[in-house]
Amino acid sequence: MHTVVMIPGDGIGPEVSRAARRIVDATGVPIEWVVEEAGAHMLERTGALVPESAYRAIETHRVALKGPITTPIGSGFKSVNVSLRQKYGLYANIRPVRSIGGRGAGVDLVIFRENTEDLYAGREIRVSDDEAHAVKVITRGASERIAAAAFAYAEAAGRKTVTAVHKANIMKLTDGLFLEAFRKVAASYPGIRAQEVIVDNMCMQLVMRPAAFDVIVTENLYGDILSDLAAGLVGGLGLVPGANVGERYAVFEAVHGSAPDIAGKGIANPVAITLSAAMMLDHLGERAAAEAVRKAVESAVADGSVATPDLGGSGDTEGMTDAIIAAMR
Ligand code: ATP
């Protein structure tokens, strides 16, 4: 029996989390779900976006499946996602982007985004009325750690190439250090091709020939942007899963946000969080179940008759979920 913390979150979070839970339960893998509420609705009730009990549950069980949590704009609250990453040392943001059901032909890449530093370290100062600075923090330790995660994954998954994305021609010291770390790690994987691509060129290459890329490793800001670009290649945010992984803890979540425009309508696409749950099953060592979920998602999306509106269909969350469960059986 595995124990997993389930945080349904805000907006469409509860709808898609319920769907993912039904699908995971249908695999037959025994999971005890510890449901913890967090999000804007808890702020009103408890004064905190993430109540202490949710943090305690993550610390106890170490694995969580999380829906989107909205950070109220202008509230002075730090993003929950950023807080969780820092608090639990979730240094690797892993986003597999694959074409599903014929969308984005041949795309099968995995982005390893460094999650803890870069311009997202939050070191900004307003120097004067007319000037503001942000400090870009790159360390050898964090850069080697994310490169090592990317190469270890590539080796285990039988992948051929790891591409480092950078802008070291301009940011010679920071991105230069990132590349130095990448090259050092690459040297201990002689069987895997290591290549380096400048970020602006990478954007063009990804749009023009996305199928040419395999594993990508990059800094926090470039990774954030490339992930959404890549999601757009395969049918949008409703289809792309993600994981935040550290030494001790792992939080699995869809790339998308709380989608307030469609919340409560029952039409959110449950695929992104379901594929995140499949990554979680892999992490728990339940590889056969994870593969079964991915295959069922592929066939439900390819079928099209149950497609949700974001995929151009007129289906709903429940219909898509039922179709995925039916495909598994
Ligand atoms: P946040 O600030 O929480 O990230 P956002 O509005 O910037 O929110 P999303 O919530 O990801 O970003 O929504 C972006 C667009 O994608 C919206 O139009 C939303 O309806 C759509 N979208 C996101 N996730 C899904 C989904 N699972 N199914 C269908 N549409 C989705």
**Terminus-to-terminus CA distance in the chain, angstroms?**
22
* 97 occurs within a structural domain: no
pLDDT band of 168, cuts 50, 70, 90: very high
Q: How many CA atoms lie within 13 A of 185 on its CB side?
A: 28
Q: Can you tell me the mean pLDDT for 255-274? A: 95
* One domain for residues 198 and 309: no
* One domain for residues 207 and 163: yes
Q: Domains in the chain: how many in total? A: 2
* One domain for residues 81 and 114: no
What residue numbers bound the domain in which 292 lies? 1-90+246-329
* One domain for residues 184 and 270: no
* 166 occurs within a structural domain: yes
* 73 occurs within a structural domain: yes
* One domain for residues 261 and 328: yes
Residue whose CA is closest, atom 1 of ligand 1?
A: 257
pLDDT band of 72, cuts 50, 70, 90: confident
Write down the mean pLDDT value for the chain: 94
Angle at 60 between CA 58 and CA 66, to 5 degrees: 20
Q: Is 13 in the pocket of ligand 1 (CB under 6 A)?
A: no
Q: Which numbered atom of ligand 1 lies nearest the CA of 69?
A: 3
Distance CA 24, CA 265 (A): 23
pLDDT one-digit tens code per residue, 99-137: 998 777 789 999 999 999 999 887 899 999 999 999 999
pLDDT one-digit tens code per residue, 211-254: 999 999 999 999 999 999 999 999 889 999 999 999 999 999 99
* 241 occurs within a structural domain: no
Cα 218 to averaged position of ligand 1 atoms, centre (Å)? 24
* 96 occurs within a structural domain: no
Share of the chain above pLDDT 90, in %: 84
* One domain for residues 278 and 302: yes
* 239 occurs within a structural domain: no
* One domain for residues 215 and 298: no
Q: 90: which 2 tokens? A: 């979730």
Domain boundary pick from 168, 201, 234: 234
Q: What is the 3-state secondary structure of 56-120?
A: HHHHHHCEEEECCCCCCCCCCCCCHHHHHHHHCCCCEEEEEEECCCCCCCCCEEEEEEECCCEHH
Q: Can you tell me the mean pLDDT for 263-286? A: 97
* 240 occurs within a structural domain: no
224 is catalytic: yes
* One domain for residues 53 and 153: no
pLDDT at 153 over 90: yes
* 118 occurs within a structural domain: yes
Q: Is 68 in the pocket of ligand 1 (CB under 6 A)?
A: yes
- Encoded amino acid at 133, one letter: H
Residues 91 and 146 sit within 8 Å (Cβ to Cβ):
yes
* One domain for residues 24 and 71: yes
Domain boundary pick from 234, 263, 282: 234
Domain boundary pick from 234, 262, 294: 234
pLDDT band of 74, cuts 50, 70, 90: low
Say which CATH number the domain at 189 has. Answer: 3.40.718.10
pLDDT at 78 over 80: no
pLDDT one-digit tens code per residue, 15-55: 999 999 999 999 999 999 999 999 988 888 888 889 999 99
Mutate to test the pocket of ligand 1, among 10, 79, 225, 237 (most ligand atoms within 8 A of CB): 237
55 is catalytic: no
Cα 256 to averaged position of ligand 1 atoms, centre (Å)? 5
Residues 88 and 58 sit within 8 Å (Cβ to Cβ):
yes
Cα 153 to averaged position of ligand 1 atoms, centre (Å)? 29
* One domain for residues 251 and 230: no
Angle at which helix 13-26 crosses helix 287-303, to 10 degrees, equals: 120
Q: 111: which 2 tokens? A: 């982005």
Burial of 178 (0-12, 13-18, 19+ CB in 10 A): buried
* One domain for residues 256 and 323: yes
Residues 324 and 315 sit within 8 Å (Cβ to Cβ):
no
- Among 167, 222, 249, 310, the active-site one is 167
* One domain for residues 120 and 221: yes
